Structure 1
Amino acid sequence: MSPSADQGYPVGPVGSSTTVVVVGAGPSGLMLACNLVRFGIQLVILDDRPDKTSTGKADGMQPKTIETFKQLRLADPLLKHGARVYDISFWESTADEGLRRTGRKTHYPEHLVGASDPYILLAHQGIVEEVMIHDMESRGVFVTRNSRFTSCSVNGDKNLDIVYDNTLTNASHTIRADYLVGCDGVRSKVREFLPDADLEGEITNAAWGVLDGVVDTDFPDLWSKVALRSHSVGSILWIPREKGMTRLYVELSSTDGERIDKTKTTPEHVMQQAREAMHPFKLEWKKVEWFGTYVVGQRVAKHFMDRNARIFIAGDAAHCHSALAAQGANTGMHDSFNLAWKLNLVIRGLGKPSLLHTYEEERRKIAYDLIQFDVEHCKAFSEGETALVKNFDDNIRFISGIGAEYSPGVLTRSCSSVSGLLPGMLQLPARVTRYIDANPVDIQLDIPLLGQFKIYIFVPDVCSSKNALGHLCQLLKTSLTRITLLANWSYEEHARRHSLSDDFHQFQRYTAVSEAFTFALITQSSRSEFEISQLPDMLQKSRWSLYIDNCQIPSCTTKWFGELGTERIGVAIVRPDGYIGGINKWEFAQADIEWKCFEDYFSFMVC
């Protein structure tokens, strides 16, 4: 039975206390709030603006971010309205030669990236915000607007007293909360309340002007992404946008010398600079929807959280860089995606408080990877096509988000060498057939995100593996029973927050065994070779996550494990955010020994 709208942790209007306060209703803050609301966690989200972003700002969603929105079942309006960019062309002029195309490349080649959505999806920030706001509001939660965060202090009960001002009435309000998360941008006020969390890195005087509008041009590559280098003017980046618009990033200064002259930071100057760079092609604007400027800087906060794991920062509050590779909103939303499931487990008493410390460990690593890439990317942009092409080829998996990987740690444990996937990597996309209804599905999308761990069991031949499969399922049941009992009690007491759209997905199909784990079987046996009733009870109850690995070459089994063979079982633990927590394969007779490594994996859980 689906939970009713008034079940779960209370998440209604602002009161005197809550569990989590999120400051900032941009992409990072909304991604965090949207997930926490779904999990059923009490929260208040504050934003000092009267409404969502109306135009401009962040615009590009990378393949991994598209996949994340698909996993959240929120991608359809974005895919409907956004522009898709599959290729990039390179143009250049020199003192001796006029502007000409020097090359063209597929943006996300299959052999380098392997993304299920190999394109950039372009839509302005407000469209992305609106999708998440609508999902929250359908679950009875609203952004508290015109509310400026001012301070935070620890009270006598060791909770946080969070103060904010209503910008319309100037009235001051205090909320008592267990956690505070600052998603309030590069000038974050929340960051000031984190000890020793200043931004470290470089701020240059290199500046870019940004224009969103409808252009009138005879330039032939208008609907491709274009990296252009003019010998007289500098660099320009063209990007197609929603509603038939184009975004132009126009280089205003490429040196670290004097600060850019303010007379150059006007739409008129940027337009003229672009016209000169595009000569002999015509370039005029029928409409300008948004204009902005930014100065290039690459900085990362010393800390993303306090020592007590009560105050956190995410997105631009934690790291900043150039906008040229469309990484800011993508990385920020995945900061929040990482933090949300960990907060859910700890707040519910299922995860130990130490679990929250993995947020900083994992996301600061990604932030530094991003800064290192961004420095080289900006440099390559100024050097021309050869350097830029090499930079893309060397970093294309990271740019796509697919290659944003975590180092070995508490949540990414290596048990043995498996060719294919490693702990800290994202699930590799693969097409399989769902046993129960013969539907072809994407394995990384089919099981809904419910804050659960997914345990995938790979058995190439079910018929010859029945005893080994039964033994493994018994090991799973025995070692995970305590966590399951605690999780089942928690979600019974405080249900996930319900929306009418959830009725179309029947989430109870994936919680029949446990509220903490979804179990899945992947086999290369055909549907005619076995019945569900012949499987262990755990897998019979998991009938909606039984898959036949027969849809593509290479198969899912090969992608994830390499050669598995008919005498081995493969097991992968996938975290609630889609990252591989542990993966291993072993001979049937080794199950008792090999499973011990996986059993130890869940030491961060309360059991």
Structure 2
Amino acid sequence: MPKFRMRRKSREQRDAFPSAASDISVSPSDSLEIRHHHKINTPHDSAQDLSDRLSNMAVHTSKGRSNEQQVLHRKSSLRTGHMVRSPPPPVPSDVLVVGAGPTGLMLTSHLIRFGINAEIIDNRSERTATGRADGLQPKTIETLKQMRIADRIMLKGVKVNDIRLWMSGQNEPLQRIAKETMYPPEALDCLDPFLLLAHQGFVEDLLLKDMMERGVDVHRNVTFVDYYKSNGPDKNIEVLCKSAYSDDKKIFAASYLVGCDGAHSNVRKSMGARMVGSSYDQIWGVIDGEIETDFPDIYSKTVIHNKEAGTMIVLPRERGMTRLHIELSPQLRDVASREKLSQEFVINIAREIFEPYQLRFQHIEWFGRYQIGQKISSKFQDDEGRVFLVGDATHTQSPNASQGMNSAVHDAVNLAWKLNLTIRGLAKPCLLKTYEQERRQVAEDMLGFDYEHTNTFSSGDLKALSDDFQRSARFTSGYGADLPPNVLNVQEKGSIRGLLRAGSFPPPAKVTRHFDSNPVDIQLDIPLLGQFRIYYFVKNLEQVKPFMEELSAHALSYTSVLGKLTYAANASYTLQPPIAALSDEFTRPERYTTVSGMFTFALVLEMNAADFELDQLPKLWRNSRYTVYADDVAHLDTRCMSCTDKWLGGLRGSEVGIVILRPDGYVGTVGRFIGRSPDSGAKATKWLDDYFDAFLLSGF
């Protein structure tokens, strides 16, 4: 079984370049020898050899590229006409992440937690201090809860539970015309039905602290220049970077490169991908600050439409601040060059939209401008599956519905577990290929929604906007980011009962955790550790005891696919263990991998917790005591339903339901078997083996 242990970084890894302006640091006394998970043989070039290779990089990497890209390569050449320091040979890592915004930090945090040797670089000297993205949707909050780090930001953010719509015109005073619940229970079943408003820097800080607790920091003041693939036996990707403050150059080497470097991604340009789509003449200004106003709805998400001056979105923010998104009306867009669209210009428009209410800024923390556009990258990964794009590097949209950061961090979660299993040699090549297939579908759905939503905003039809909010609640919350059918998402055969669908997130459900009799949310109780969660639902254990014993023996056998995968994963996690944090002393992640590093086996019994003991269970669940549940607290559920009824539509007679959740929380597949049928054990074990054998490597 995998064990968790602390890892510290070496001083060499902490600082790619000397930096006098980093807010994340580790004292020299904290420096211990770095642990390399995989020994990768790399060519030991002389300083002159490496310098020659770097100098000729533009030549080697310009083949098949556009003139614009070749100019970029020539500009990045080290032949600058004056002396520069020769960089040291690169120290390989498993993954190099470019960009330390929420997306890159989410990806790196997951990889580190899984035990992957990941490094992350960023061209900024510190995290985002003000502005940028500002809203966490319900599914993102759930993901942070599954990581056991949500509490830190829930205390800082502002919860917005409703949307209020106001309108005025030539002969119509400004008045409220609608007040809608953000996520009405009939439209969305979730535990946190609100938008949590907190600026991007809080999210970055949350993930940075998680990484720091695990001994990993960001290489600050490092600018990505280009990459090329080594011809050596290691097949590493070598990445050329430069210091933000000098002419110093540095090479990073990694098995995989991931660009999380935003809408103007240089990794995307180096990969030869391009953004496809359109920008529109909808121009917005955005201001964060403390305001004084007699407007009554300043503490809700409020949309104000003035037929003469334009549309404005009001959002309450942390520390008593308010964010205003101000759209220019069509008559004003002609003068909206970046020079003319000044802070004062936008404030004057905001005051006009607010009339007759007063608006005065006590303090302005951040001001920005943006033009609406929906674009998507021509590809999300290179042909060999070694370079990936994530988040805004793959898709851009308006910020009006708070979708960008939320979708981006789930791009990262999707890719992280697939990289983990691939790097460990536990996955077939088809697994990584599902990243683009799945996340492109989500991005295309989001851009389609954003196009309609943005046009509704600009039309001034607030009744249509209200209908749009209600109709799209599931999608905007993040729970509606459904994935297409593929090798991972296999829909249940026959008639579908219950709410579970392959490629979708499960709804919340309450159960009693048997070992301590605590009622828990089943979808949150087992943390995200890079493992699959297999839930076995049983109505009456005594009726299907032989069937369950067969399933137990199958999972523990060294000859089954499940058993072989467990053996291989446990061996891998022993050599390259997950990285622990001090906070893990309280959350105890090792409880959930007592049998296998690849699977957490959970049992849900439709019985009262007091009516059975652990020693009555087959061996698999006696060894998984922390994930045995009684389905006996339906009255605590959001819809007063039992977990079995909600997820599976109930069980009939001796029926046993098996639910497989992927490491990112999506439903992989659902199976039902008649527990008293003579051949049901063989059918169930084959069904399990066939599912995992399609994309994982079970040979050892």
Greater displacement, 500-509 / 207-216 = 500-509
Q: What's the secondary structure of 1:178's corresponding residue?
A: strand
Whether the 8 Å CA contact 1:146–1:166 is kept in 2: the answer is yes
Letter in 2 for 1:177: A
- Residue by residue over 1:456-475, the C-alpha shift from the partner in whole angstroms, topping out at 9 and shown as x without a partner, is 01112223332222223233
Q: Does 1:350 align with 2:421?
A: no
Q: Is the 1:215–1:287 contact (alpha carbons within 8 Å) kept by the matching residues of 2?
A: yes
| Equivalent residue number for residue 410 of structure 1 | 487
**Cα distance, 1:257 vs structure 2:** 7.7
- In 2, the alpha carbon distance for the partners of 1:375 and 1:528 equals 54
* Correspondence for 2:372 among 284, 287, 296: 296
Aligned residue pairs total: 606
Between the aligned residues of both structures, percent identity stands at 43
Equivalence for 1:121: 196
Deviates more, 1:254-263 or 1:158-167: 254-263
Task: State whether residues 160 and 179 of structure 1, in contact with CA within 8 Å, keep that contact through their aligned partners in structure 2.
Answer: yes
Match of 2:669, SS state, is strand
Between 1:590-599 and 1:513-522, the stretch displaced more is 590-599
RMSD value over aligned CA atoms?
Answer: 1.9
Superposed displacement of residue 9, structure 1: 13
Aligned to 1:151: 226
Aligned equivalents of 2:102 and 2:584: distance in 1? 22
Change (3 A) 1:8 1:485: farther
Q: Does 1:504 align with 2:580?
A: no
CA, structure 1 residues 11+457, in 2 after alignment: closer, same or farther (shift >3 Å)? farther
Are 2:311 and 2:329, in contact at CA under 8 Å, matched by a contact in 1?
no
Q: Is the 8 A contact 1:252 1:264 kept in 2?
A: no
Deviations 1:536-564 (A, max 9, x none): 00000111001111222211111111131
When residues 366 and 11 of structure 1 are mapped into structure 2, their CA distance, relative to the original with a 3 A threshold, is farther
1:348 and 1:424 map into 2 onto residues whose CA distance is 24
Q: Equivalent residue for 1:223?
A: 299
1:508 is displaced (CA, Å) by: 2.2
What displacement does 1:333 show?
A: 0.5
Q: Of the candidates 668, 688, 691, which is equivalent to residue 598 of structure 1?
A: 688
Alignment-mate amino acid for residue 570 of structure 1: G
**2:609 is matched with which residue?**
527
Q: Tell me if the contact between 1:16 and 1:176 (Cα under 8 Å) persists in the aligned partners.
A: yes
* 1:139 equivalenced with 2:214 (yes/no): yes
Pair 1:182-2:259 in alignment = yes
C-alpha distance after superposition, 1:300-353 (max 9, x if no partner): 001100010000001111000100000011111110010000000000111123
Contact 1:182 1:317 in 2 (8 A): yes
Q: How does 1:16-31 map to 2 (within 5 A)?
A: 16-31=91-106
1:554 — aligned with what? 641
Structure 1 residues 345, 361: closer, same or farther in 2, change over 3 A? same
In the aligned structure 2, how far is the partner of 1:235 from the partner of 1:7? 51
Which of 335, 352, 372 is 1:276 aligned to? 352
What per-residue deviation string (whole Å, max 9, x for no partner) do you get for residues 40-63 of structure 1? 111210100000000110000000
SS at match of 2:673: strand
Cα distance in 2 between the residues matched to 1:357 and 1:8: 32
Q: Is the 8 A contact 1:512 1:542 kept in 2?
A: yes
Q: 1:390 aligns with which of 467, 472, 486?
A: 467
- Of residues 308, 315, 318, the one that matches 1:239 is 315
Q: Is the 8 A contact 1:9 1:40 kept in 2?
A: no
Name the SS for the 1:470 alignment partner: helix
- 1:563 matched to 2:650? The reply is yes
Q: Determine the C-alpha separation between the residues in 2 that align with 1:388 and 1:396.
A: 12
Helix, strand or coil at the partner of 2:276: strand
The residue number in structure 1 matching 2:74 is none
After superposition, the C-alpha distances for 1:557-581 in whole angstroms (9 at most, x for unaligned) are: 1111113134211111000000001
Q: Which residue identity does 1:330 align to in structure 2?
A: N
Match of 2:442 in 1: 366
Partner-residue secondary structure (3-state), 1:498 = coil
Matched with 1:465 is: 544
- Output the TM-score relative to the length of structure 2: 0.84
What displacement does 1:263 show? 5.0
Equivalent residue number for residue 421 of structure 1: 500
CA contact under 8 A between 1:418 and 1:583: conserved in structure 2?
no
Aligned-partner SS, 2:430: helix
Q: Which residue of 1 aligns with 2:564?
A: 482
Q: Deviations over 1:348-401 (max 9, x none)?
A: 111123211100000000000000000000011122211111221221101000
1:472-510 CA-to-partner distances (Å, cap 9, x unmatched) read 323333330100000000000011111111111222221
Q: 1:252 and 1:8 mapped to 2: Cα distance?
A: 50
Relative to structure 1, the CA distance from residue 8 to residue 358 in structure 2 (aligned partners, 3 Å threshold; closer, same or farther) is: farther
Distance 1:153 1:92 in 2: 55
Out of 46, 49, 54, the position equivalent to 2:121 is: 46
CA contact (8 A) 1:304 1:312 kept: yes
- Larger deviation, residues 265-274 vs 323-332: 265-274
Which structure has the larger Rg? 2
Please list every run of 5 or more consecutive structure 1 residues that lacks an aligned counterpart in the other structure.
none
Give the TM-score, by structure 1 length. 0.97
Q: Which amino acid aligns with 1:418?
A: I
Question: Does residue 321 of structure 1 match 2:408?
Answer: no
Aligned equivalents of 1:228 and 1:591: distance in 2? 61
SS in 1 for 2:472: helix
Matches within 5 A, 1:28-177: 28-157=103-232, 158-177=235-254
CA distance in 2: counterparts of 1:255 and 1:379, whole angstroms = 17
1:6 is matched with which residue? 7
Could you tell me how far 1:203 is from its partner in structure 2? Answer: 0.9
Deviations 1:126-149 (A, max 9, x none): 111011011111111110000000
